[in-house]
A and B are shown apart, each in its own frame.
Chain A
Amino acid sequence: MVEIDVLQVTTFVVILVVALAWYLSYSAARLDRLHAKVEGAMSALDAQLVRRAEATLELANSGVLEPASALLLADAATESLERVTEHPLDDDLLDGQHFGGREDVEAALSEALAATLTEETVSHLREDDDELVDDALSRIASSALRARMARQFHNDAVREVRRVRAKWVVRWFRLAGHAALPERVEFDDELPAALAR
């Protein structure tokens, strides 16, 4: 008959439990870091989109554009700002960290910018040497560029979170808590070519 050494078994079990606990806390910390990364990128994206809409609205209201272009831009920019200020929490499980279906609105603003700020228009605007207009243009350009970067960094972080959250240890032990599974944000964020340089 095989004699069971209680001490040996206990030691073994303890080691196993400690190892598991370490692995769990390690995985949880890793996931936390990834979630923080997603949220950071999302908030950067959000901030830059607000900046873009504000600068666009400023340009539209400056009176230097012809009225049709100005109206187009003002409409798209207002829509974007309204979505942020009025319904930020719609369908928002991450407490302000969710994109909340704003893709269409932001894509519409990108489109309006591309349609109105053509090479010709921009070089005309720059010729006037109006400080306010130049400032608005450069703010649109810089925020659009940063929004574009932030969106890409966000999507990359989302990919990493999703991969880690698909692991058995995360699913079995609910390491993600009640954080919603982050989703990629996809919309047309092309800069108007005339502002791209």
Chain B
Amino acid sequence: MVCPYSFDVPGGVQFHVRDLAEVFLAQGHEVSVLAPADEDGDLPPYLVSCGRAVPVRYNGSVARLTFGPVTSARVGRWLESGGFDLVHLHEPVTPSVSLMALWAAEEPVVATFHTSTTRSRAMHAAQPLLRTSLEKIRARIAVSEAAAGTVRSHLGGDTYIIPNGVHVRRFAQAAVRQEWEGVPGAPTLAFLGRVDEPRKGLHVALDALPGVLDQHPGVRLLVAGPGDAGEILAHADPRAVAATTLLGAVSDVDKASLLASVDLYLAPHLGGESFGIVLVEAMAAGAPVVASDLEAFSRVLDGGRAGVVVRTGDATALGGAVVELLADPARRDLLCLRGRERAPEFDWGPVSRQVMAVYETVLAGVGVHHPESRGGLWGRLVGGSSTNGQR
């Protein structure tokens, strides 16, 4: 498996690769992951580093990537010494190790596309440059409908959709933490995500808060996520700020506990989410979800059956939905129940089985050889037309 982004920094693609690799290892398969990583750091045993990543501005944000001849040689060595049956590349169009591996791989290639952007300059520019390499990919997987749409618009064709996985059990069994638990009169709401990234929508949640405080004066908003919230809080209503607790970046265990403890989980994202894995985590932990009506979110929430969806960016609607739910414990219990029913569909168990099915399907077709024997180019030039006549 090849991951283009640095394994030292947390990120959706890295977590996906890590989880998938660990699930397959637990099932007894042999897995080796090639990714940029700091070799001095604490690395899992299955990880092979291809060098340290350099922050580069790419496709509108700063990504940590590796490139250059040294890396390229390492990729070649890894492929050669690994003796792999199959190579699974993640984000093959990112200018990093995945692309190099695609270039060098002689093994059958499976590729997973994660990004969903309306217009990717790189994929567009890559057309003539990478076409032949991309033809090596025997099976394309997208993590969401949105990601598949991105691939379709740039490269054409269909892509098989296998969603991201979640360790549902970890969230379902998370311990409730008293300080985060809502009590009658002082219910708690959770927000997760980078606080200084506008598209995560913290400001929408803060704008919605005064309306909620009017009805439920004791309500608390617990915000977990890295970033500097100073500016966003300076622009928010002072009452909302007073009701908000910043937890900063939290560990995976704390995240699960937070979701298991709160009365509601808010996902006021404005867009750019291709899947909404955190929604599944919330559902697995038993937190009723109030989310923006983004396409990906509606899909995860089973069209609004397993959670409440409100108009994206509409603080009044968000506030209204929160007020209503806080006043209706029976409805919350129902959403919690449906969420817990829905979440296992996104568990790594069934998800990894589907990925394995892709591998098997690809490998089943590898041994098959051309039935016609061709005498090279010359035979084709001369023989092509004559055999055609005989048939």
A residues near B (Cβ < 8 Å) are 24-25, 28, 30, 32-37, 39-44, 47-48, 93-97, 142, 145-146, 149-150, 152-153, 155-157, 159-160, 164, 173-179, 197
| Chain B residues with CB below 8 A from A95, complex form | 371-372
Contact between A159 and B157 (Cβ–Cβ < 8 Å)?
Answer: yes
Task: Write the nearest CB–CB distance from A66 to chain B, whole angstroms.
Answer: 30
A178 touches B160 (CB 8 A): no
Q: Are A153 and B384 in contact (CB under 8 A)?
A: no
Partner among B132, B357, B371, B383 whose Cβ is within 8 Å of the Cβ of A145:
B357
Given the known inter-chain contacts A32-B370, A177-B374, A178-B387, please indicate yes or no for A146 contacting B345, CB distance below 8 A.
no
Nearest CB in chain B to that of A176: its residue: B384
Contact indicator A36/B370 (Cβ below 8 Å): yes
Say yes or no: B157 contacts A149, CB within 8 Å.
no
Interface presence of B138 (CB below 8 A)? yes
Residues of A with C-beta under 8 A to B366: 40
Please report the total number of B residues contacting A with Cβ < 8 Å. Answer: 37
State whether A153 touches B135 (Cβ < 8 A).
no
Instruction: Check if A177 sits within 8 Å of B380, measured CB to CB.
Output: yes
| Given contact pairs A149-B358, A149-B361, a sample of 17 additional A-B residue pairs in the complex whose CB atoms are under 8 Å apart | A36-B368, A39-B368, A39-B370, A43-B365, A44-B362, A44-B365, A146-B361, A150-B364, A153-B362, A159-B156, A159-B157, A174-B380, A174-B381, A177-B380, A177-B383, A178-B387, A179-B372
Please list the residues of chain B having a beta carbon within 8 angstroms of any beta carbon in chain A: 132, 135-136, 138-140, 156-160, 345, 350, 354, 357-358, 360-362, 364-366, 368-372, 374, 377, 380-381, 383-385, 387-388, 391
Q: Which residues of A contact B384 (CB under 8 A)?
A: 174, 176-178
User: What are the residues of chain A within 8 A of B350 when measuring CB–CB?
Assistant: 197
Contact B360 A97 (CB under 8 A): no
| A153-B108 Cα distance, complex, nearest whole Å | 13
Question: What does DSSP make chain A's interface, helix, strand, loop or mixed?
Answer: helix
Which residues of the partner chain B approach A47 to less than 8 Å between Cβ atoms? 364
**List of 9 A-B pairs having minimum Cβ-Cβ separation, nearest first:** A40-B365, A44-B364, A95-B371, A174-B384, A44-B365, A178-B388, A177-B384, A43-B368, A156-B157
A-B contact pairs, 10 of them (CB 8 A): A28-B377, A34-B135, A39-B368, A40-B362, A41-B361, A44-B361, A95-B372, A153-B362, A160-B135, A177-B387
B280 to chain A, nearest CB (A): 15
Is the CB–CB distance between B377 and A37 below 8 Å? no
Instruction: Please report the C-alpha to C-alpha distance between residue A36 and residue B367 in the assembled complex, in whole angstroms.
Output: 10
Instruction: Please name the residue on chain A nearest to B389 by beta carbon.
Output: A178
Cβ–Cβ < 8 Å partners of A153 in chain B: 138-140, 160, 361-362, 365
Q: A47-B364, A175-B380 are in contact. Are A152 and B158 (CB under 8 A)?
A: yes
Q: How far is the CA of A148 from the CA of B365 in the complex (A)?
A: 14
**A41 x B370 contact (CB < 8 A):** no
Q: How far is the CB of A192 from chain B (nearest CB, A)?
A: 16
Q: Which residue of A lies closest to B156 (CB)?
A: A159
> Contact at B371–A93, with CB atoms within 8 Å?
no
* B385→A146 contact, CB < 8 A: no
Chain A positions within 8 Å of B370 at CB level:
32, 35-36, 39
Closest to A24 in B: B377
Residues of A within 8 A of B374 (CB): 177
Which one of A24, A41, A142, A179 contacts B357 once the chains associate, using CB atoms below 8 Å? A142
- How far is it, in angstroms, between the C-alpha of A96 and the C-alpha of B369 when the chains are bound? 12
Please give, as numbers and ranges, the residues of chain B lying within 8 Å of A44 by CB-CB distance: 361-362, 364-365
A21 to B391, CA, bound (A): 29
Interfacial chain A residues near B381, Cβ < 8 Å: 173-174
- Cα of A34 to Cα of B381 in the assembled complex, Å: 19
When chains A and B are docked, how far (Å) is the Cα of A138 from the Cα of B239? 57
In contact, A39 and B365 (Cβ under 8 angstroms): yes
Q: Which residues of chain A are near B383, meaning CB under 8 Å? A: 177
